[in-house]
Chain A
Amino acid sequence: MPATAAVAPPPTAPEQLAARLSSGDSDESLLPTLREIKNQIIGNRTKKLLYLRLRAVPKIVALLSSSSSPSPVIVQAAAAVGSFACGVEEGVRAVLDASSVPHLTVLLSHPDAKVVDSAARSLRIIFQSKLAPKYDFLLEENKTFLLSLLNSTNENITELAASIVAHSCEKPTEQTSLCDAGVVQKLVSLLGGSSNQRDTSLDAISAIVKNNPEVATKFVSISNGKAFNSLMGLMQDRYPRTRLLACVCLISIEQAFPVYFQEMQIKTKLILILLDLIEEAGRVGDEAPFVLKGLIGESEELHRQALSVTAAERLCGYLRKGKAVLEARRLEGILLVLAELGSKLEQSRAQLIELQVPSLIIDLLKHDCAQVRVAACHVIKNISRSLKHLCAGRFGSESIVMPLVQLLCDSSTSVQTAALDAICNVAVNLTTKKSVLLQSGGVSILCQLARSMHSEVRLKSVRALRNLMFLLDRKDKDLIFTELTVSTLTILISDPDPLVQEHALALAGNFVDGSGVSTKFIFSEDISIIDAVSRQLKGECSPGMCIQGMFFLANMAAENESQKDAVMDCILPTSLDLAISPPNSFLVTFLQSKERLLRLSTLWCLINLVNPDQRNSLRVSALQGAGIISQLKTMVNDPCLDCKLRVRMVLERCLENRE
């Protein structure tokens, strides 16, 4: 007979449930309320936030510590606390603010096993959050407590102990202390337990071993290498998450104790497993590329090895198949691995270019996620370190340059600076074609960014302009300079950041390289670039700045008589200098520098000043008076051959002039 279906009662409004928590009761009458709250918030961020606003958490936490709360109530209250802390940062804060951790910790010793389980599970969830407090392992009582948890027969409690270690163990002193207390051995024994125990134990071992050669050495000696072999076995575990965590653990050991991993076999295996894991669903696939990047790091050997096992092809394959659907985190990770592969070896860059990586990732420069855009810029920056391909014009096309230029106006500063780095390299035009950057509106933006309040943005823009200016024809140089302005350049030459100063001077040097320099740019109204350079060279400045300043003066002195005179005015002591110090030019100090390139750049300036022409004799006399010729005579046997040859060039020219 058909019967009317039972209708579930409508859910009680959160406001009502929260109000019931305030009733002051702590007995079993609260059980339905707690269960309903717990059921409503599980997996439901909106409901969690709503209950947070209704201040449900402090009331629930109070039940944990109430001596009159029966066990079933405590179990549900603990579960609810754990649920609030799961995946919602505001929830974690709320449970921490309500002092739930000490209350839950006390419950780990409760006579009721269900209470213990519930408390342990909730604490584990809390300790998965970065916001959870760090456990102080250096306190003896804390260490003892931790060991007692590890010795427990309760799986939830041992998992909790491992989570606490994974979350809190950071300093070498903590790592050593835990290792000496036998914690590592306990964790190793958990590797044979359930899947959850294995995973949390792997996490904890990684934290204890990380960057600690002493602890890593002890680990590999445990049971004559059996612990290490267990890890190797877990790389082949049927669960992807366990395989990933085993890889992380092995990489931590390898980086702390590389001697143990001299054979390439294990590292190759790690690379292959991580490449496979990138295909896994969920967080495992998202995190695997980051782990791979951490493995290959800055090791040329591992870069080569990764290429030999077709890592580049596989990563490109993942992008080709699914870049439109891959999670942003995974995309970012894949791009960062590609960037890493292109960072050091020319053979890697060549392979990535052959695989059409630049074309493959162009649209990722417009991805919604800022980190993906940054990672795509890193790929282009690193691959464009290839001089061979810069010369072939591989990075100068509109399809690459235009999206990068657009990113210069990105709302995220980290995207802007990443784009600036990429543009810095692609701006080096080694082809005979006109640079796309000159026609793209990029110059105006770079000049604006050179005036940014943000010093990193200023530095990178000036660097890019310097590279753009390299061997450019005079007309285009003048156009850039008109946009930048003399006053901006003089300000940059005196920037508070020494690196900005250095690159601004190099930019100025590139500008005056080549013939036909218009003096309107060098001596403009009351502002003079050469005065700005002179002030810097006479003040306290870094060797790098002095070198660029001297190359600027050398280039000026290679132009014509009036510019040579201007350089002489700059380098000779003024009447003020004469009044307060011995009448030597700062060039004498530069010529005495231990920095070879500073001596060289100074010598080239002098060579150009005494280049045979009409007013040479006057200049030679002036240099003599400033102590420069005497200094040069002491340098005829300079330890640097290049310097020695240039000293002789100057002295020969001075002698020719006298004759």
Chain B
Amino acid sequence: MPVRVVETTSPSHSSGQDLSSAQPSPPSCSLLCAGRSFCGTQNVSSLQKDEAWKVNVRIQGCDIEHGFLCGTMEALNVPLADTPVVTFWEGEIVDAKNHTFFTGKWEATPEDDIRHWSKFPSFTPLLSQIEDDGGKSLDLSNYPYIFMRWKEQYFVNVGADCGLTIAGFYYVCFSCTDGSISGFYYDPNSSPFQKLELKCMNAKPGGFSFSSYELV
């Protein structure tokens, strides 16, 4: 499975803060950076029952230049598990350079892509420009939403035989205005359009704070 490169040969590169102001800029937002936490729910309802899991997400790394980010996702009150289930995921940022709106893998066809992206109201103005080529010539640097795909890679604290699946991936829309996230899980073998809704969390009572690291 393609794994995005994190370029860290320059000593001043930071995975937590982007010091470059080169143009044209890839889509970026200071609320989408390493250390940032989000919490909310994932709707896992099926025809049999309504169910929602509480979910906490933390961004662990972000490489805007290569359209890559990664983090962990913690699902609480999972019926099949005694403890919260944590997974590690890798994300692709749709930036027309590294990734387009067309997934091209994970059993998602362009029709599946458009169907899922269209569930986000913020995607509607872009639809006509992506139908042919997934939006290769789109400039998303000034668009107040960032679109991503998040794919869980492995279970961090439970075995792969825990009865849960990470076969699918999420179509994700991030709001640059307030850091809120919505997403839809796609897995041909699971209930369709399971919705993920997250809000940006403040670790501090009086505002937003930032933490960073730099790999050498």
Stretch in A127-135, A150-158, A338-346, A529-537 touching the partner: A338-346
Contact A595-B70, Cβ < 8 Å, known A428-B215, A466-B213: no
Residues of A within 8 A of B18 (CB): 597
27 contacts between A and B (CB under 8 A): A344-B7, A346-B6, A385-B8, A387-B15, A387-B60, A392-B154, A424-B214, A430-B60, A430-B61, A430-B72, A463-B216, A466-B213, A467-B213, A470-B34, A510-B211, A513-B203, A515-B203, A555-B210, A559-B205, A564-B206, A595-B21, A597-B18, A601-B210, A608-B209, A611-B206, A640-B25, A645-B144
What chain A residues lie within 8 Å of B216 (beta carbons)? 381, 421, 424-425, 463
Known contacts A385-B6, A597-B19: A558-B208 contact under CB 8 Å: yes
Instruction: Identify the closest chain B residue to A605 (Cβ).
Output: B207
In the complex, chain A residues whose CB is within 8 Å of the CB of B7: 344
Q: Within B92-145, which residues are at the interface with A (CB < 8 Å)?
A: 141-144
B191 proximal to A (CB < 8 A): no
Kindly supply a per-residue 1/0 record for chain B positions 171-187, scoring 1 wherever the CB is within 8 Å of any chain A CB and 0 otherwise: 00000110000000000
CB distance from A542 to the nearest CB of B (A): 11
| Interface bin, chain B | 35 or more
Query: Counting CB contacts under 8 A, is A594 at the interface?
Result: yes
Flag A543-569 by CB within 8 Å of B: 1 or 0 each.
Answer: 010010001001101111101100000
Partner of A544, one of B9, B12, B34, B209: B12
Instruction: List chain A residues, Cβ under 8 A from B206.
Output: 557-561, 563-564, 608, 611, 613
Given the complex, which residues of B lie within 8 Å of A563, measured CB to CB?
206
Q: Does B5 contact A (CB under 8 A)?
A: yes
Number of interface residues of A (CB under 8 A): 66
Instruction: State whether B90 touches A463 (Cβ < 8 A).
Output: no
B165: A residues at CB distance < 8 A: none
Smallest distance from the beta carbon of B38 to chain A beta carbons, Å? 14
* B207 close to A558 (CB less than 8 A): yes
Closest to A595 in B: B21
Q: Which of A329-351 contact B (CB under 8 A)?
A: 343-347, 350
> Does B30 reach chain A (CB closer than 8 Å)?
yes
- The interface residues of chain A, by DSSP majority, are classed as helix
B4–A346 contact, CB under 8 A? yes
How many angstroms between the C-alpha atoms of A551 and B9 in the bound complex? 24
Residues of chain B with a CB closer than 8 A to A298's CB:
9
Residues in A whose Cβ lies below 8 Å from that of B142: 641
Contact (Cβ within 8 A) A509 B154: no
B45 at the interface (CB under 8 A from A): no
Cα distance A188–B199 in the bound complex, in angstroms: 71
B156 at interface by CB-CB < 8 Å = yes
* Beta-carbon contacts under 8 Å, A495-511 to B: 503, 506, 509-510
Please tell me if B157 contacts chain A, counting CB pairs below 8 Å.
yes
CB of A67 closer than 8 Å to a CB of B: no
Q: Would A642 and B176 be within 8 Å (CB), given that A385-B6, A604-B208, A607-B208 are in contact? A: yes
B162 close to A (CB within 8 Å): no
- Whether A596 is near chain B, meaning CB under 8 Å from some CB there, is yes
* Interface status of B202 (Cβ within 8 A of chain A): yes
Q: Which residues of A contact B5 (CB under 8 A)?
A: 300, 344-346
Min C-beta distance of A496 to chain B, whole Å: 18
Q: Is the CB of A642 within 8 A of B3?
A: no
Contact with A along B83-96 (1 / 0, CB 8 A): 00010101000000
Q: Does the CB pair A387–B6 fall under 8 Å?
A: yes
Most buried by A among B29, B70, B154, B204: B204
Tell me the bound Cα distance from A68 to B83 in angstroms. Answer: 98
**In the complex, what residues of A have CB within 8 A of residue B70's CB?**
387-388, 391
Q: Which of chain A's residues 508-539 have a Cβ closer than 8 Å to chain B?
A: 509-510, 512-515
Considering the chains assembled together, what is the distance between the CA atoms of A558 and B201 in angstroms? 13
6 closest A-B pairs by CB: A608-B207, A558-B207, A387-B61, A558-B204, A513-B211, A555-B209
- With A344-B7, A554-B210 known as contacts, the answer to whether A470 contacts B177 (CB < 8 A) is no
A439 within 8 A of B: no
